[in-house]
């Protein structure tokens, strides 16, 4: 299997390479790309892999079976569909395709059945929404959700290498460089993304819209306030939720304890520093709201690594899901069939002499 990583030199791309190694994904050929050629390359399974500039022509010529995008929206918008047309399956960490009606937004622990055989583009959801949805899904399955309110405390890694570098420089005494809306060192910044006309930020709108899509609840009452904090790479979330059915903390614990991808802390706390470089979503401090006579209002604390479960690990888990359901094999078979048909037609056309005075017509292949 030929696997391409577009954005291999970035923090998410580098983490994808690491997760592919750790999870022993069978990679026949690794193809690494960035915005330009990089002489130093990247390391994968002890070997140096050259990094090429990610151009449409180069990517299509290299014919990957799977292409991970770990770059910006512009690269995905420009290149993803061309790769699909050339036969690749695309797993995209940008926001470009997340809310498209014909594209599934998959977290394997939450909604694996959203995948269909004809799907070829698989976005990785917003990192904050992934962490939130992994914790909410078992509650939705057990007793249903009527509403969700969340305040997030998001690590600087969510802004990529620029965010990590900005915090490191400010810790050394450098002036803020504008990466965040305000100084990040010894501060919290209640703005992640630009504002819309109603006062919400882009990040807040993503968290709401994507959580609804992944849970299959387009009408779920939701609100989010997203805050950037001087933490390296794990997001934290204070979640306030109302269930459809009356329930108890013990019943919620049962649902969370058995849920895939969740680590439940029935007592005590969990902090972002503790969960850095892990793949699970940690849930603690599940408790009822005081003086609630209905037994439907609860709170919990949720923490997950932004670079791993919020991005790279979820991307690799999508690949594993496609392999387990033979959807990737089907995509490869479809591509071979398409090339065979086009090649046969071209050969037939080439064998027939063109009429005098007219140029020979070639059937294009894609």
**How many domains would you assign to the chain?**
2
Instruction: Give 127's contacts (C-beta < 8 A, 6+ positions apart).
Output: 158, 235, 306, 310, 311
| pLDDT of 148 over the 60 cut | yes
In angstroms, the CA 186 to CA 49 distance is 39
Residue among 27, 21, 36, 38 at smallest CA distance from 4: 27
Calculate mean pLDDT across residues 253-259. Answer: 97
In angstroms, the CA 262 to CA 245 distance is 22
Mark whether 196 and 81 lie in a shared domain. Answer: no
Tens digits of per-residue pLDDT, 99-112?
Answer: 999 999 999 999 99
Position 363 in a domain = no
Band (pLDDT 50/70/90 cuts) for residue 344 is very low
Q: Three-state SS for 285?
A: strand
Position 357 in a domain = no
Instruction: For residue 288, give both structure tokens.
Output: 């009822």
Task: State the chain's maximal CA–CA distance in angstroms.
Answer: 91
Mark whether 114 and 15 lie in a shared domain. Answer: yes
Position 169 in a domain = yes
Mark whether 136 and 210 lie in a shared domain. Answer: yes
CATH number of the domain that 43 lies in? 3.40.50.720
CATH number of the domain that 136 lies in? 3.30.360.10
Residue 328's pLDDT is what? Answer: 80
Q: pTM here?
A: 0.89
Mark whether 145 and 263 lie in a shared domain. Answer: yes
Task: Name the residue range of residue 91's domain.
Answer: 2-125+313-351
Looking at the annotation, which residues are catalytic?
A: 127, 235
Position 150 in a domain = yes
Handedness of CA 108, 110, 111, 113 (dihedral sign): positive
């Amino acid at each position: 299997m030929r696997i391409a990583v577009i954005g291999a030199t970035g923090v998410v791309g580098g983490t994808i390479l690491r997760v592919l190694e750790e999870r022993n994904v069978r990679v026949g050929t690794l193809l690494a790309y960035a915005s330009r050629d990089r002489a130093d390359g990247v390391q994968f399974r002890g070997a140096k892999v050259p990094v090429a500039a990610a151009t449409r022509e180069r990517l299509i010529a290299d014919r990957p079976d799977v292409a991970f995008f770990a770059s910006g929206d512009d690269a995905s918008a420009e290149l993803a569909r061309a790769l699909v047309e050339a036969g690749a399956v695309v797993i995209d960490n940008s926001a470009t395709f997340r809310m498209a009606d014909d594209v599934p937004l998959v977290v394997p622990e939450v909604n694996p059945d959203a995948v269909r055989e004809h799907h070829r583009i698989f976005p990785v959801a917003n990192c904050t929404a992934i962490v939130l949805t992994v914790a909410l899904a078992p509650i939705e399955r057990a007793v249903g959700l009527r509403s969700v309110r969340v305040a997030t405390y998001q690590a600087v890694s969510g802004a990529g290498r620029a965010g990590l570098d900005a915090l490191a420089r400010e810790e050394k005494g450098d002036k803020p460089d504008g990466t965040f809306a305000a100084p990040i060192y010894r501060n919290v910044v209640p703005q992640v993304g630009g504002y819309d006309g109603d006062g919400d930020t882009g990040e807040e709108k993503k968290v709401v819209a994507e959580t609804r899509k992944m849970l299959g609840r387009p009408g779920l009452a939701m609100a989010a306030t997203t805050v950037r904090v001087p933490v390296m790479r794990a997001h934290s979330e204070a979640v306030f939720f109302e269930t459809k059915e009356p329930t108890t903390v013990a019943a919620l614990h049962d649902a969370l304890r058995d849920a895939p991808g969740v680590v439940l802390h029935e007592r005590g706390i969990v902090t972002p520093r503790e969960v850095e470089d892990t793949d699970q979503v940690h849930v603690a401090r599940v408790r009822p709201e005081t003086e609630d006579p209905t037994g439907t209002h609860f709170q919990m604390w949720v923490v997950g690594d932004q670079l791993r479960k919020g991005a790279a690990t979820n991307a690799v888990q999508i690949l594993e899901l496609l392999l387990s359901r033979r959807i990737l094999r089907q995509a490869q078979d479809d591509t071979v069939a398409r090339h065979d048909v086009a090649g046969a037609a071209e050969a037939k056309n080439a064998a027939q002499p063109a009429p005098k005075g007219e140029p020979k017509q070639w059937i294009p292949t894609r």
